[in-house]
Amino acid sequence: MRQVVTTQSNTQSSTKGTAMSEDVASDEQAITTVLAAIDAGELALATNYLRDDVTVLFGNFAPLTGAATFTQLFQHFTSSLRAVRHEIHHIWPVATDPDVLVATMTAHYTRNDGERVSLPCCNVFRMCGGLIAEYRVYMDISPAMAAQ
């Protein structure tokens, strides 16, 4: 398990302005890159930051395993929408396990009928060697996917 050590580099947390380890900063960057890649529809780029055996849990759906399955899930999901944008509010490591990061955000969707829906979301990521090993999404996606 990786230890969080405050370094002299003064890498700043995006939430509180406190110093954090370079590993946590690197993990935070990987998460923001994955979310930006999803928003841009660049799922191949997103999978560069996932372990090949990543576990993905989205809401109440059954867990999925593998980067290829992640791509299929998000291709199917985003094909039902005109646009997706993640507005990240906070990302912080869990104090008792710095390999786990929690991200709170608002997910903004433009449905195919043009209606815009913004939903609160909380994602939990377990990192391993700088890659996402577990990707959990906690949100009610039904308003974005309602009959159009």
The stretches of 17-135 forming alpha helices (DSSP H) are: 22-40, 43-47, 67-79
Cα-trace Rg, the chain: 16
Q: Between 142 and 135, whose confidence is greater? A: 135
C-alpha span between 101 and 125 (Å, rounded): 5
Q: What is the pLDDT of residue 116?
A: 95
Q: Is the pLDDT of residue 3 over 60?
A: no
User: How far out from the chain centre does Cα 128 lie?
Assistant: 15
**Mean per-residue pLDDT, 3-20:** 38
Q: What is the pLDDT of residues 81-131, one digit of tens each?
A: 899 999 999 999 999 998 999 999 999 999 989 999 999 999 999 999 999
Tally the C-alpha atoms within 13 A of residue 141's C-alpha that lie toward its C-beta. 15
Instruction: For residue 60, report the phi and psi dihedrals to the nearest 5 degrees.
Output: -95, 5
For the four alpha carbons of 127, 99, 59 and 122, in that order, the dihedral sign comes to negative
Q: Which CATH number fits domain 22-145: 3.30.420.40, 3.10.450.50, 3.40.1190.20, 3.60.20.10?
A: 3.10.450.50
Q: What is the pLDDT of residues 26-73, one digit of tens each?
A: 999 999 999 999 999 999 999 999 999 999 999 888 999 999 998 888
Nearest Cα to Cα of residue 122 among 133, 138, 107:
138
User: How far out from the chain centre does Cα 133 lie?
Assistant: 12
Q: What is the pLDDT of residues 19-28, one digit of tens each?
A: 456 788 999 9
What residue type is 70 in one-letter code? F
Bridge partners for 86 per DSSP = 107
The stretches of 41-118 forming alpha helices (DSSP H) are: 43-47, 67-79
